[in-house]
Amino acid sequence: MVLQLSGVRKSFGGIPVIRGVDLAVREGEFVGVIGPNGAGKTTLFGLITGSLSVDAGSIVFEGRDIARARAQDRCRMGIGRTFQVPQPFTSLTVYENVLVAAQHGAGLSAARAAEAAHAALDRCGLAGLGDVSASRLMLLQRKRLELARALATGPRLLLLDEVAGGLTDPEVVELLGLVRALHAEGVTILWIEHLVHALVSIAQRLVVLTDGAILADGPPQDVISSQIVRETYLGPELEFESQVPEVMHA
């Protein structure tokens, strides 16, 4: 098991946000996470990566409890993530953004960091934009840069936070192809996404988080077909999803 959460809890100002979450992710698995706004999805990612501290419970990564480990140490252990809103260093070039991730995120030497940065840019289709200021990138390119920065740290577990958000349907298809290829290369993926159709087309499991607790966990089609998930979260969205079959079957 690459990741095991047991009884994880987190509150802010006395208000519970994560309520005793148990979640296991096997090596090489692709798990999608959905849920309404305020369900605690991004908070859960923060607890896994260490940007937030747990109030209770354990987080075990590759056999080691990392619940009290620093965020930078977790990154160097092999946990990488992207953010819902890309946050590149706009004063730096695309290449420099990825180089920073390789040097300071992964802790690589200058030579190895340069090699990792070039490889990540090439993998994400940004090799020709290395000298371009990050401030000039379009949204899809910024999403790709987010992925490249995460990949430059050499993650074995990659957490994606709404990486497809704000993209057009063709752009979603393009990004899905990249994520699918990364998974095929052996990267374990945990992906939060509001575009349910995107996750159903690629994930092996679907987890529904609501009010800080897991409502459902299983094969994507079984989860979105379950009555409790439809009543609690998906209801009207499924009609919309059915209108974009080109993404579903990409």
CA distance 223 to 15: 28
pLDDT average, residue stretch 160-183: 93
DSSP label at residue 103:
I
CATH number of 3-78+155-248: 3.40.50.300
pLDDT: is 248 or 52 the higher one? 52
Phi and psi for 45 in degrees, rounded to 5?
-65, -40
pLDDT at residue 137, as a whole number? 97
CA distance 182 to 191: 13
Phi and psi for 129 in degrees, rounded to 5?
-115, 15
Which residues of the chain form CATH 3.40.50.300? 3-78+155-248
Average pLDDT, the chain: 92
- CA within 13 Å, CB half, 225: 6
What percentage of the chain exceeds 70 in pLDDT?
93
Residue 51 neighbours by CB distance under 10 Å: 13
Render pLDDT for 201-239 as a digit per residue (tens, 0 to 9).
Answer: 899 999 999 999 999 999 999 998 898 888 887 654 444
pLDDT average, residue stretch 63-68: 97
| Amino acid code (one letter) for 9 | R
For residue 184, what are the contacts with CB-CB under 8 A and spacing of at least 6? none
Render pLDDT for 96-114 as a digit per residue (tens, 0 to 9).
Answer: 999 999 999 999 999 999 9
CA distance 237 to 230: 9
pLDDT at residue 198, as a whole number? 87
